[in-house]
Amino acid sequence: MTKIMLCGRGGSGKSTVTAMMARYLAANGQNVLVVDADASSRGLAGLVGLKRPLRSLADELGGPEALTRKLGAYLGNSTALASRIHVDELPAACTSRRDCLALLEVGKAWPGGDDAGQILEELGRHVLGRLDDRNWWVLVDNEAGMDRYGASHRLTDAFLFVSDGSQPSLESAAFAARLFLEVEKPLLTLLNQVEPAAEETIVRRAKFLGVTVDAVIHADPALREAAEKGCPVPLQGDAAAAIRKILSRLEAVLNPSGRVRARSRFQ
């Protein structure tokens, strides 16, 4: 199993990086499922190059009223938890798919306050825990905020922290490094949309905070335009090289478990 969760502060470009990774893997013939678990963003499908699903998984299960009333009992059902759901068995209405690339939308925010957000988070964790992803990469674009990742570490093989290079973002990356060290889960860090002239200074600040930078994507107007317009992210030059480097690093940290064999894919 290869489940990678992307984390980082809001506005760091998690969705853009998720889309680039998905498109790169698919272009290299790998099966990729993108799990859109960010309840506040609606542009991921366009960045990946797919249409948004007809409805979310939360809508498929009855919408906010039904989830609020029934989801707790459903998640507590040991028989349901013991069963597995393969990617090919996900509901077609909430899955957009083309060839070896698929996207599942967990659910988007609805009026209801914190309880609604917690229900969607629990639904996302439940799906991730039951997912049988044989021969599939699973990339999870989750909500911002590190408090949302601790409960998911048992369901995920590795984490990728996306930072915009700002001091608050680097401090969050340092917190993440300590958090995932405690739960013995690999964490990689990628700097996104960083000006080349500032890279050395940012990497030095990161090192001072105890953060190892694994790859850097420089500021690119084409990537920024794709994010603003919600159209497929381009895979070229500096960005493609950074994504290839991150995937190679993931191979290095996950190979001891035998879960990932990626070297031949990306050379």
User: Which top CATH class is 2-266?
Assistant: alpha beta
DSSP state of 154: G
- Render pLDDT for 202-254 as a digit per residue (tens, 0 to 9): 999 999 999 999 999 999 999 989 988 889 999 888 899 999 999 999 888 88
- Tens-place pLDDT, residues 33-72: 999 988 777 889 999 999 999 988 888 877 666 665 555 5
| CB 161 within 8 Å of CB 190 | yes
Backbone angles phi, psi at 120, to 5 degrees: -65, -40
Nearest to 158 by CA among 37, 59, 246: 246
Global pTM exceeds 0.85? yes
Residue pair 132/141 in contact (Cβ under 8 Å)? The answer is no
How far apart are the C-alpha atoms of 205 and 197, rounded to whole Å?
14
Task: Please name the amino acid found at residue 52.
Answer: R
The ranges assigned to domains in the chain are 2-266
